[in-house]
Chains A and B, each alone.
Chain A
Amino acid sequence: AQKITQTQPGMFVQEKEAVTLDCTYDTSDPSYGLFWYKQPSSGEMIFLIYQGSYDQQNATEGRYSLNFQKARKSANLVISASQLGDSAMYFCAMRVDRGSTLGRLYFGRGTQLTVWP
């Protein structure tokens, strides 16, 4: 069974500081992908970053980077130079490369990030 765990219900960070949002996952499939989504207070789900299980390097997208530690089964999101607009709920998700379920994303419960001035 696939499982995503986000242990931080809420996180606080000061503007311009970096913050790490934790995500651990559990799967027996060797091929999988990890995603992070942002959900601002307006409600929409915004795709941020992707990491494949066979990717040699950690993914980066602008101020977002993914600290991928395969042996620990963790895929933490790092946001550098936080901005007030980063205040949102963040979800970690996983997809496994299995024919019958390819496409399905398994989500964690989310971390509410608050950036203060």
Chain B
Amino acid sequence: EAQVTQNPRYLITVTGKKLTVTCSQNMNHEYMSWYRQDPGLGLRQIYYSMNVEVTDKGDVPEGYKVSRKEKRNFPLILESPSPNQTSLYFCASSFRTGRLNSPLHFGNGTRLTVT
């Protein structure tokens, strides 16, 4: 089954404790991205990747890191989480080259709480 898998679904942590949210897709998509969703603000892009070893900042990259060492995986790293990073996070992927109509496929989301 074609899907984007992100883990964990729920995570409660404390300020400053490094964490990683994993994301994997099995559709051979070039493009992968991380979004955070906050009430009233919609989805805001954190980082995105056009292909292996190619990543770039989105609109709200502060406090986050990513890597794209393999095409299928795109982990999101919070080196020192803070309470303002409490949010619902989505990983998403799509085809990129020449496919304007390719929809983003989303993972099921990770609800992160930082205390």
Say whether A associates with B. Answer: yes
> Using Cβ atoms and an 8 Å threshold, which residues of chain B touch A31?
100
Decide: A47 and B103 in contact? CB cutoff 8 A.
yes
Query: Is A17 part of the contact surface with B, judged by Cβ < 8 Å?
Result: no
Supposing A33-B100, A95-B100, A97-B100 touch, asked if A103 and B106 sit within 8 A by C-beta, the answer is no
Query: Is A32 part of the contact surface with B, judged by Cβ < 8 Å?
Result: yes
> Using Cβ atoms and an 8 Å threshold, which residues of chain B touch A103?
30-31, 33, 48, 50, 94, 96
Decide: B48 and A33 in contact? CB cutoff 8 A.
no
Residues of B80-108 at the interface with A, using a CB-CB cut-off of 8 Å, are: 88, 90, 92, 94, 96-97, 100-101, 103-106, 108
Tell me the nearest residue of chain B to A92, going by C-beta: B42
How far does the alpha carbon of A107 sit from the alpha carbon of B33 in the complex, in Å?
Answer: 13
Most chain B CB inside 10 Å of its own CB: which residue of A31, A103, A109: A103
Supposing A104-B33, A108-B42 touch, asked if A50 and B101 sit within 8 A by C-beta, the answer is yes
Supposing A44-B106, A91-B43 touch, asked if A104 and B100 sit within 8 A by C-beta, the answer is no
A→B interface (CB under 8 Å): 6, 9, 31-33, 35, 37, 43-45, 47, 50, 52, 91, 93, 95, 97, 102-105, 107-110
Supposing A109-B41, A109-B42 touch, asked if A102 and B100 sit within 8 A by C-beta, the answer is yes
Decide: A44 and B96 in contact? CB cutoff 8 A.
no
With beta carbons under 8 angstroms apart, the residue of A97, A102, A104 that contacts B45 is: A104
| 18 intermolecular pairs with C-beta atoms under 8 Å apart | A6-B42, A9-B40, A35-B104, A43-B88, A43-B109, A44-B106, A45-B104, A47-B104, A91-B43, A102-B96, A102-B100, A103-B30, A103-B33, A103-B50, A107-B43, A107-B44, A108-B42, A109-B41
With beta carbons under 8 angstroms apart, the residue of B40, B48, B97 that contacts A104 is: B48
Decide: B109 and A44 in contact? CB cutoff 8 A.
yes
